[in-house]
Structure 1
Amino acid sequence: MSKEQTKALMPEKEGRPELGEVDGILLSQATCNEWQRIQSFQARPDDLLICTYPKAGVEQAEAMPPPRTLKTHLPVKLLPPSFWEQQCKFLYVARNAKDCMVSYYHFQRMSKVVPDPGPWHEYFEMFMTGKVGWGPWHDHVKGWWKAKDMHCVLFLFYEDMKKDLKREIQKVARFLGKNLDQELLEKIVYHTSFDVMKDNPMANRSGVPLSIMDQSISPFMRKGTVGDWKNHFTVAQNERFDEDYEEKMAGTNLTFCMEL
């Protein structure tokens, strides 16, 4: 990788790591350093890739028995080519931009392996211009929305999960060709609800060392609600965001629910 691709675009703050860049997208230096290996990753036809904006990786994927369930936050344009070549299935989960911004802000406050977000008003500007890890939210969701017309992508909305989790789980089951009896479906719905997952050490990252995540600042699983952005956005910020949003999302039929 060239020096230009890995150049740091954010100052190091309080010992936090800086970000590097790949093809115009800001990524962690650790991801940049492994970029050649990531791009040469060999997908398998029965792989399921869960994609979101943002937070996870594909560590230890090669050691997993088939069928593998992998996770990524990469935008479409940076995905290793073998996933397309092997005609894998993709499950994309999208969340409205305003709540996504707030959630990402609090995650960066508590995670010591990403840049410090600074005060809210500064982070608001960074998110608006896409100067955050994994790139601009708008490009990320639009890229995967377009990909569903050419590849096997099930595009889900976080807000729909909050409205009717059982219905969305049934969509996933059908997409994967699985038949769930009522008992198993109810069990999955229970264990994947936000309140249950928040108390589950397997999901809430409670075992992660303080040197990596300081959950006294903000819990890894914080609120999980729709519309929490209203507790953070000023009237002026909301007006400016809506104007910018309309411009960046023009030309797509992708629509989001901003509050329930």
Structure 2
Amino acid sequence: MENLSLKQTVPRAEVGEVEGILFTKPICSMWNQVWKFKARPDDLLIATYAKAGTTWTQEIVDMIQQNGDVEKCRHATTYRRHPFLEWSMQEYSAVSYSGLELAEAMPSPRTIKTHLPVQLVPPCFWEQNCKIIYMARNAKDNLVSSYHFHRMNKALPDPGTWEEFMEKFMTGKVLWGSWYDHVKGWWKAKDKHRILYLFYEDMKENPKQEIQKILKFLEKDMKSEVLNCLLHNTSFEMMKENPMANYTTEFQGIMDHSVSPFMRKGVVGDWKNYFTVAQNKKFNGDYKKKMADTSLVFHMEL
């Protein structure tokens, strides 16, 4: 695949809506095909709100599936190993990507990635009773990470100022919709379906324990030395340097890592470096209202 050179000016993505949820125009135009996607019973779906530890979860799952074989996990980039179901980019001649096409051509068993809110997941995933791993991250860190990602990724709409982006995030006028609806919707669904619901903060605090939950969910066993190798290779420091996971090998000209690296900090509590006292107060008030109807609890710091 050719890479775009940074000299080309890439226009920012335009947005549209599907059932009240914002998506980029290419996703909207492909929506019927996404909705009719045919899942297979042995598909594994990794679902997250964008910038909630998706790539991390993918890498951990891949390492488990390859039984800790680092070389096998590096045979291709994350977005080729795990098709990004609804994502498509046709507007850049040098870089076209269709998660759907990639998924359809892939032999079983497949691991597929999505950022869709639960109500927009293609019905076949429920009909086939597929296993799903959902990773959730606290709203404040998720917001900061999204803001920086929008700054560096031209395939996404311009975030505007920090203040403006925070406002959009709070009102749900961002891609893939409201963070609040997303985490709550998936939380509700976990009681009816085969969903393992994980938290980014738990994964940071005790990765071994969380990875053991994934192993159990995937009905896999792993020797302790392989598990230790997996822990090492899926640490933030290692992944930041891994060209197969850090998004530096493709999408040049679309992702500008000089603005902000794709793998930025990978910490809990970075929001404190961005929120003013007034913003924090406003955010907390709004958060309390929106999270009043759920048993879901997040840790804003470790």
* Fold shared by both chains (TM-score > 0.5): yes
Partner AA of 1:40 in structure 2: K
The one-letter amino acid paired with 2:112 is L
Bigger relative contact order, structure 1 or 2 (CA pairs below 8 A, ≥6 apart): 2
Aligned residue among 42, 49, 52 for 2:48:
52
1:55-88 residue CA offsets vs partner (Å, 9 max, x unmatched): 6722111122211110000000111000000000
Equivalent in the alignment of 1:39: 35
1:27 aligns with 2:23: yes
**RMSD of Structure 2 on Structure 1 (CA):** 1.1
Equivalent of 2:12, from 11, 16, 26? Answer: 16
TM superposition shift of 1:33:
0.9
Match of 1:202 among 244, 247, 250: 244
1:104 aligns with 2:146: yes
Question: Secondary structure of 1:204's partner?
Answer: coil
**Which residue among 73, 91, 101 is the counterpart of 2:115?**
73
1:201-245 CA-to-partner distances (Å, cap 9, x unmatched) read 011111124321000000000000000000000111101111100
Q: Distance in 2 between matches of 1:201 and 1:165?
A: 22
How do 1:57-206 and structure 2 match up within 5 A?
57-58=84-85, 59=99, 60-206=102-248
Distance 1:252 1:209, change over 3 A: closer
Structure 1 distance, partners of 2:218, 2:252, is 37
The Cα offsets for residues 145-175 of structure 1, whole Å up to 9 and x where unpaired, read as: 0000000000000000100111111100000
Q: Which runs of 5+ in 1 are unaligned?
A: 1-13
Describe the SS at the equivalent of 1:17.
Answer: coil
User: 1 CA distance for matches of 2:212 and 2:221?
Assistant: 9
Secondary structure of 2:244 counterpart = helix
Q: Which moved more, 1:49-58 or 1:227-236?
A: 49-58
Alignment partner, residue 231 of structure 1: 273
CA deviation vs aligned residue, 1:23-67 (integer Å, no higher than 9, x gap): 000011111111011011000111110001016722111122211
Q: CA–CA distance in 2 between the matches of 1:252 and 1:209? A: 38
Aligned-residue offset at 1:186: 1.0
Normalising by structure 2, what TM-score?
A: 0.80
Residue identity in the other structure for 1:33 = S
Distance 1:72 1:33 in 2: 17
Q: TM-score, normalised by structure 1?
A: 0.93
- Aligned-residue offset at 1:188: 1.2
Question: Which 4+ stretches in 1 moved above 6 angstroms?
Answer: none
Quick check: 1:251 aligned with 2:251? no
Paired with 1:231 and 1:155, the residues of 2 have a C-alpha distance of: 28
Alignment size in residue pairs? 247
Percent identity (aligned): 61
The alpha-carbon deviation at position 89 of structure 1 amounts to 0.4
Tell me the SS of whatever aligns to 2:150. helix
What's the counterpart of residue 74 of structure 2?
none
What residue ranges of structure 2 are gaps of 5+ in the alignment? 1-9, 52-78, 86-98
